[in-house]
Structure 1
C-alpha cells in the first residue's frame, strides 16, 4: 500500500502528464506573459511572439531574421535561458531531503522524462531535417520533467517557492515547443490529436492502430506503433509488398505486427518447416517457417493475456539451421531444447 506522500506524488505526476500530453489550445496570453518574465530574468526585453501550428511549420518557416544556418535551437537567448534553468535547479535542490528527492524522481520526473522522450520528442525529430543535431540543450530545457520535479518538491514541502519556478511552470504548462531569439519568440501550438498508451513505470508512449498518433492543425502528422514512429502505410495499409521492400528492420517489425504475424506468414507464402506443441505454453502450437536466407521465423503464442483477454501471436527470427520448433523456442530463451521442453509454463 502506498503511503500518503506516494499517493500525492502520483497525483502530481498525473497532473503533469495531462499537461504534457494535452491537445487543448494553448492559453496564449498566459504563455506570452510567462515567457516574457523569463526574458526579463536574463535581462532581455519582451519579445514579439510568432505562433505557428506545428514543429514542422516552426522549423521550415521561421520569420525573416530568425532562421539561422546553425542548429535552430542553438541561439544566445536559448543558451542564457538554459543556464538560468540550471541555476534554478541547483538552488532548489541544494537542501532537499534525499528520501524526498528520490521519491519525486521515481514517481514523477523519471516517468515524465520517459514520456517526453516517447511522446513529444518523436514529432520534433520527425520535423527536424537535421536529425543528428536535434537533441540540443535547449530541447532538454523544454522538457517539463525537471520543472515537474521542482514543482513537486515545492508542493510536498521540500523545496523553496521561487518566482523563477513559477514562470517556468506557467510556460511549460501552456506551450509545446518554442524557440527564443533576441526580439522574437516562435511558439508551436499543441497538437489537435495525440494518442498514447501506458508504458512501464508510469510513463506513456505514442501509439495509434488507426490513423495518426499525432496530428497538428495544419495537417502535419506522425504515425506510431507502440512507441515506434513509422510511415503512414504501416498503420493505414500494411502489405507484404511494402514489408518486403522496407529496409528498416524496426519499421518492418511494426508493419508485420500491425498486419498480424499469422496473416503475414500466410500472405507471404513462406514455407512451413515444422509444427510442434509448445511445452512452455500448454495448448498452444509452435510453427517454424523459412524466412530469409540464413534465418527462419518461429510463430508462437504469448503465454500472458493481453488487456482484451486474448493471447497475441508473435514471430521470432531464429537461425536457419534450426529445424525443430521446440529447439527454436529454446534458442530464443537461451536454453537447451531439453530444458525448455521441461518448462511447466513460460511467461
Structure 2
C-alpha cells in the first residue's frame, strides 16, 4: 500500500503535504501491530520455529532443537538449570556462538534499515535508537516520517516496550550477557519499518526485507525467545492480557489494567497485577490493609492501595487526625484537608488530601494524598507549597472552570 502525496518530495527532511491515505496507512499499521502485541493464546509453533530456523541459516548455523516453555520466567529458569548461559558470549568483537551470530544478523539489519529511514538523524549505536531532539525544528518535526515515528513507533514503544515488556521483566532476573528477543513485543521497530515500507518512504535491501519479514512472522506467531548453539528456548504467548486506553493519549497508547484480577497471565500461573498502568502486588488486590500500606515503600503502590480501600477508611483505620481544612480556590467544589500522620507511620508527618480538578471518564474526581513538609499547620500553606508559592498567593488563584 502506498500513499499519494499532495506535493513532490523536495528533500529527506522537507515539509510534506499528504492526503488521507497517509493517515489511514499509519492508523492501519498501528492497529495491526498493536493487535499482535496484545495477542494471547497458543503460539503458532510451526511458523515460529520455521522463522527462527531461517535466522539460524542466515547466521550460518544449523537448525536448533526447539524447547517450548509457558512463560518468560520459566524460560529463565530452564536456561539457568541447563547452564545454557554459562559461557557468556562476547558483547563486542566477533561473535562465537549461535546467540552472537543470530544477534549480529538482526542487529546489522536494524542498523541498515535505520540509516535508510532517516540517514541524517544521529543515533545511539548501542541501542539503535534516535537521540533526543535538540533543535526547534527537530522538536516540532513535520512530514510523513515524523508522523510514522509518533503514530507508530513511539506509540507502540510506550505501550509495548515501556509497558508490557517492562512489566514482564519484573517477573524474572536478567540473563547476563544474552539478548532476549521479544517476539510479539518487538513490534515497535517492526511496525515502524513496515509503515515506512508501505508508504514508500525508504527502500530496504532484499536481505533486510527478508529479515524484516522473518521478524514480522515471529511477532505474529509467538512470544519471547533465546537462541543457543544447539537449543532455542521459545516462550508461549500469555493466556490473558488486559489493557485500557491511556487517558489523553493522542496516538492510541494503552496501559495494563484489570480492576480485580491479573492484567497479564501466562499458562503456568505467572502473571502481573496492574491498576491503570501501575504494577501492584497481589496483596493490594486480594487483601489491602492499613498495616500493609504503612509498610509499602513504593509511593505509587501505596496510593493505589489507599484508593482501593478508600480514603475515608484509610484515614479512620490509620488514625490520621485532621489538622486544617479549607476550600480549594483552584478547584470548584474542591476541599483541601490537611492531616497529621500517626507516630507509628511518621511522627509529625503531614498529608494534604486534595480532589483532582479534572473528572475521570466515569464522572468522578479522584482524591490524592500529597506528602507536605512535617509540622505544616495550614491547608492553604500546604497546597501553596506543592506549587512553590505561599498559601496567601495560592488563596488568590482563579478557580478552575
Tell me if the contact between 1:119 and 1:196 (Cα under 8 Å) persists in the aligned partners.
Answer: no
Contact 1:78/1:138, CA 8 A, preserved across alignment: no
* Pairwise CA distance, 1:277: 1.0
From the superposition, tell whether residues 326 and 252 of structure 1 become closer, same or farther in structure 2 (CA, over 3 Å): same
- Equivalent in the alignment of 2:256: 206
- Matching residue of 2:323: 273
1:37 aligns with 2:58: no
Identify the residue that residue 107 of structure 2 maps to in structure 1.
86
Shift of 1:71: 7.1
Q: CA deviation at 1:94?
A: 3.3
154, 158, 171: which one aligns with 1:126: 171
Displacement of 1:335 after TM fit?
2.4
Residue 303 (structure 1) shift = 0.6
After superposition, the C-alpha distances for 1:276-323 in whole angstroms (9 at most, x for unaligned) are 111111212111101222431111111111011111111111112321
Cα shift at 1:204: 2.1
Query: 2:24 corresponds to which residue?
Result: 7
- Which of 187, 196, 219 aligns to 1:144? It is 187
Is 1:183 matched with 2:230?
yes
1:294, 1:319 within 8 Å by CA — same for their partners in 2?
Answer: no
CA distance in structure 1 between the partners assigned to 2:21 and 2:177 by the alignment: 37
1:334 pairs with 2:388: yes
Q: Deviations over 1:96-131 (max 9, x none)?
A: 468433222111111111222211221123122x5x
Deviation at 1:134, TM superposition (A): 6.9
CA contact (8 A) 2:116 2:203 kept: no
Please name the residue that 2:130 is paired with. Answer: none
Select between 215-224 and 88-97 the one with higher mean Cα deviation: 88-97
Q: What does residue range 150-161 of structure 1 map to in structure 2 within 5 Å? A: 150-160=193-203
- Rounded to whole Å, the distance in 1 between the matches of 2:292 and 2:88 is 34
2:218 to 171, 182, 206: 171
Aligned residue-pair number: 344
- Quick check: which one's helix share is greater? 1
Q: Do the aligned partners of 1:82 and 1:138 also contact (CA within 8 Å) in 2? A: no
Q: TM-score, normalised on structure 1?
A: 0.89
Contact 2:384-2:394 within 8 A present in 1 as well: yes
| Cα-to-partner distance string for 1:14-61 (whole Å, 9 max, x where unaligned) | 211111111132111111111111111111111111111111211112
Q: Compute the RMSD of aligned alpha carbons.
A: 2.8
Corresponding residue number in structure 1 for 2:156: 112
Q: Output the CA distance in 1 between the equivalents of 2:80 and 2:349.
A: 52
Q: Distance in 2 between matches of 1:267 and 1:193?
A: 35
Mean Cα deviation higher: 302-311 or 88-97: 88-97
- Deviation (angstroms), 1:170: 0.6
1:76 deviation in Å? Answer: 3.2
Q: 1:232 aligns with which of 269, 279, 282?
A: 282
1:223-262 CA-partner distances (Å, limit 9, x unpaired) = 1223232210111211101111223334323322322333
Any conservation in 2 of the 1:66–1:181 contact (CA below 8 Å)? no
Q: Displacement, 1:269? A: 1.8
SS at match of 1:127: coil
Matches of 2:311 and 2:362 in 1, distance apart?
18
Aligned residues of 2:326 and 2:379 also touching (Cα < 8 A) = yes
State the distance in 2 between where 1:28 and 1:313 align. Answer: 47
Q: Distance in 1 between matches of 2:20 and 2:313?
A: 48
Structure 1 residue 266, shift from structure 2 partner: 2.3
Deviation at 1:189, TM superposition (A): 0.6
Q: Mind listing any 5+ residue stretches in structure 2 that lack a counterpart?
A: 1-17, 120-142
Counterparts of 2:145 and 2:99, CA distance in 1 = 27
Compared CA separation, residues 260 and 173, structure 1 to 2 (3 A): same
Separation (CA, whole Å) in 2 of partners of 1:148 and 1:323: 54
Q: Which residue of 1 aligns with 2:147?
A: 103
Residue in 2 that maps onto 1:309: 363
Structure 2 matches for 1:12-23, cutoff 5 A?
12-23=29-40
Residue 60 of structure 1 is matched in structure 2 by 77
Matches of 2:266 and 2:182, distance apart in 1: 22
TM-fit CA distance, 1:331: 1.3
